[in-house]
A and B are shown apart, each in its own frame.
Chain A
Amino acid sequence: MIQLEDVSFSYDGVYSALVGVSLQIDDGESVAIMGNNGAGKTTLVKHFNGLLRPDHGRVIVNGVDARRRSVAELSKEIGLVWQNPDHQLFLDTVRKEIVFGLRNLGYSAEEADARCDMVLKDLHLEELAERSPFALSGGERKRVCLASVLATEPKVLALDEPTIGQDAGQKLRLARLLQDMNRKGCTVVVVTHDIEFVIENFPRTVAMSRGRIVADGKTSSVLSDSNAIALCSLSPPQMTVAAQSMNRLFPEVSPRMTALSEVEEAIVRILGGR
């Protein structure tokens, strides 16, 4: 469980990246953090594993104040997957990359190898195990980084903008993977501005703007709220736009729908049919 109590943070002492942020994420939740550029989403997530320490307020991870634990320690429980996989790849084979993180966190060589094998299988990376990560395609490099984090079996998996540049098929596979992880008990946190991805996959959304949390709750409520959407410079979800347009013509239709099936049923009710 991750708790932020009235956290404030500033990178340079002038501009506040986080202002009085209070947030609680329970074990097993699946949460999306949305907001415009500069809202503080990534800054927030970096407080989870101690990369950043709050100027004011507290960060409590699994009951212990994060201040008392180093980044390396916190990384055993909190796995962060970055947007640019090239920021961490530096060894000559995929296997070495995955084992590197594990050894740093204290696993023995045998344990590390075993976990590596398991995660290579899970992510269909077995044929690439002995290849150099630098020779792989962009998508494959992303999977290697994801694998290296999953190998540590973190209790919390946080991903920073995982859908950028991904096609629909890749996003679907990612969504399935995250659902699997969540079913196994892993808490999943995703920072993204891909509103359709969030609507389809995350029950809870935290919306941020200018360092503050402006909304936090059920995704369908948060993302159909025009105020929250406007504050975070997001575009409303496709189905909410449809719902709002339909509501103008058919007042009985709710303007706050977010799911495709909801809109479909509303149309069926209006036009009759099976």
Chain B
Amino acid sequence: MSFLEVFQYSRIDSPLHRLDPRSKLVMVIVCSAASLLFLNIVPLLIVLSCLVPLIALSHSLGRWFKSMRGLIFLVAFIVIFNTLLSSVQYPFSYSIALALRLIALMTSFSLFFLTVQPDHLSQALIQMRVKFEFAFAMSMAMRYVPTLGQEAYAIMDAQKARGVELDKGNALKRIRNTVPIIVPLIIVSIRRALLIAESMESRGFGSTHKRTYMDRLYFRRSDWLVVAVSLVVLVFLVYVRFILGLPEWMLWQLPF
């Protein structure tokens, strides 16, 4: 699961961390588009070589590297399967390109999740006119994930202590054994939800449509710059890919 590390926000200060989530969203969309527009080794390597400095700018190279290491099995799987099964002229080359694309996409998304604080994300959504209740539901979900995780472990302990054996038996038995875990988890979550609702209601939740926000997000010059550059890059890439066409050397493939 270590490949998930690159999707976790960490509270550091970096040029990328200081940007508004909305400008980062635009940047990441463009990076993802760049990863998806090309399916050849050389262009993808160029895209990656632009992404990695961005990761460095967010002071998260170590984390990125660890995640990429965690991806090795998946990458090997993709390469092997596609080499054996695809009907393209040079299957190995194609599968390397696919693997590179996966890495580039993951790196693009990680740029967002590494540097956007969950509350800022929900504030960004609210300022982008998403209804408060939805944005808040999302941030509450993030708030309660660790709590729910701990609850699940406690439930597993309680059931193991009654003789429920979670790691034995055939596939069918194992699935049946998840019932004593899932049912209490759902019930406990519902009970908890009612208590949370009482606390929220007691503090006026949902009482007015004119809800105010203590901290608002404001675009700065750096944000406008990031958005402008991203859009220009996007237009350029689309132009190169569809209209201009890629030069010969970029279409180079491994001969197998």
Contact = CB atoms under 8 A, between A and B. Distances in A.
Contact of B165 (A72, A86, A87, A101): A72
B184 A101 contact: no
A90 B161 contact: no
Interface residues of A, number: 23
Contacts of B151: 87
Interface string A62-90: 00000000111001100110101011111
B160 A104 contact: no
A176 interface: no
Contacts of A51: 157, 160-161
A121 interface: no
Contact of B162 (A46, A70, A75, A86): A75
A206 B256 CA distance: 70
Interface string B14-30: 00000000000000000
Contacts of B70: none
Contacts of A87: 151, 154-155, 157-158, 184, 188
B158 A88 contact: yes
Contacts of A84: 154, 188
A69 to B, nearest CB: 13
Contacts of B158: 80, 82, 87-88
B117 interface: no
Contacts of B191: 86
B162 A90 contact: no
Interface string B138-170: 000000000000010011011111111100000
Contacts of A82: 154, 157-158, 161
Most buried by A among B157, B162, B179: B162
Contact of A86 (B157, B159, B184): B184
B187 A100 contact: no
B152 to A, nearest CB: 10
B183 A148 contact: no
B118 interface: no
Interface in A103-141: 104-105, 134
A88 B158 CA distance: 6
A187 interface: no
- Secondary structure dominating the interface of B: helix
A80 B160 CA distance: 10
Contacts of B164: 72, 104
Interface string A36-56: 000000000010010100000
Contacts of B188: 84, 86-87
Most buried by A among B157, B183, B188, B191: B157
Contact of A89 (B157, B179, B187): B187
A148 B184 CA distance: 16
A75 to B, nearest CB: 5
B161 A80 contact: yes
Given A46-B157, A88-B155, A101 B162 contact: yes
13 contacts: A51-B160, A71-B165, A80-B161, A86-B188, A87-B154, A88-B159, A88-B162, A90-B183, A90-B187, A104-B164, A105-B162, A105-B163, A148-B162
Interface of B: 151, 154-155, 157-165, 179-180, 183-184, 187-188, 191
Given A86-B188, A89-B187, 19 more contacts: A51-B157, A51-B160, A70-B165, A71-B160, A75-B161, A80-B158, A82-B154, A82-B157, A84-B188, A86-B184, A87-B155, A88-B155, A90-B179, A90-B180, A90-B183, A90-B184, A90-B187, A101-B163, A134-B187
Top 10 A-B pairs, shortest CB-CB distance = A104-B163, A90-B183, A87-B158, A101-B162, A88-B158, A72-B163, A80-B161, A87-B155, A105-B163, A71-B160
